Amino acid sequence: MSVYDFKVKTMEGSEKSLSDYSGKVLLIVNTATECGFTPQYADLQAIYEAHGEKGLEILDFPCNQFGEQAPGADEEIHTFCTGRFGVTYPQFSKIEVNGSQAIPLYQYLVKQKGFAGFDPAHKITSILEGILEKSHPDYKNEPDIKWNFTKFLVDRQGNVVERFEPTADMKLVEEKVKELL
C-alpha cells in the first residue's frame, strides 16, 4: 500500500486519485488560514516555485480541527490563499485529520509516521505543548496530528519517508524535499 492507493475530494467536489501524482515527490500538509503558522503558506509556495518543475507537488488539505482556525468554505479558503500568498499548488476540500471522521489518507499517514516531537527551539513550541497537555496529557505518545501545518514527505514511489511538525524549520523541509528530487 502507498499514498497512491487513496482518493481525495477536490475543492470542486470531484474525486481525485492520488495515483495521478505517481512518480512525483509529494509534500502533504493540513493547513488553516487563521493560525500562527499561516505564514508558512508563503514558504510552501516558495518551495513549490523552486522545485515544482523538478517533480514536487504540494497537496494542501484545509482542516478546521485545531482551534477552528480554518472556518471558511473551500472557495473562501482558496481565495484567501491565492490572494494573500499567491498559492498555485493543489488545494483540496476541507477535511478532518483526526478522529472517527479523519479521511483514510490521513489515517494512513499517521500510521506511517507518528509524532516525533516539536522543535524545542521554536517560539510557539511551549504554547502548543501547553494547549496539548491540557486537552490530552498523553499526546506525545499518540501518532495523530497535533496542529495545523503538519507535513508528510512522500517519495516518488508513494512511500511516506518523513513527517514534519509545524514547528520544523522550513529550510529543513526544503532540504529534505531536494534530497528526494
> Which candidate in 35, 132, 154, 173 is catalytic?
35
35 catalytic per annotation: yes
Q: How far is residue 23's CA from residue 177's CA, in Å, rounded to a whole number? A: 14
User: Mind giving me the DSSP string for the chain?
Assistant: --GGG-EEEBTTS-EEEGGGGTTSEEEEEEE-TTSTTTTHHHHHHHHHHHHGGGTEEEEEEEB-TTTT---S-HHHHHHHHHHHH---S-BB--B--SSTT--HHHHHHHHHS------TTSTTHHHHHHHHHHH-TTGGG--S--STT-EEEE-TTS-EEEEE-TTS-HHHHHHHHHHH-
- CB environment 52-78: b (16+ within 10 A), e (fewer): eeeebbbbbbbbbbbeebbebebeebb
Residues with a known catalytic role: 35
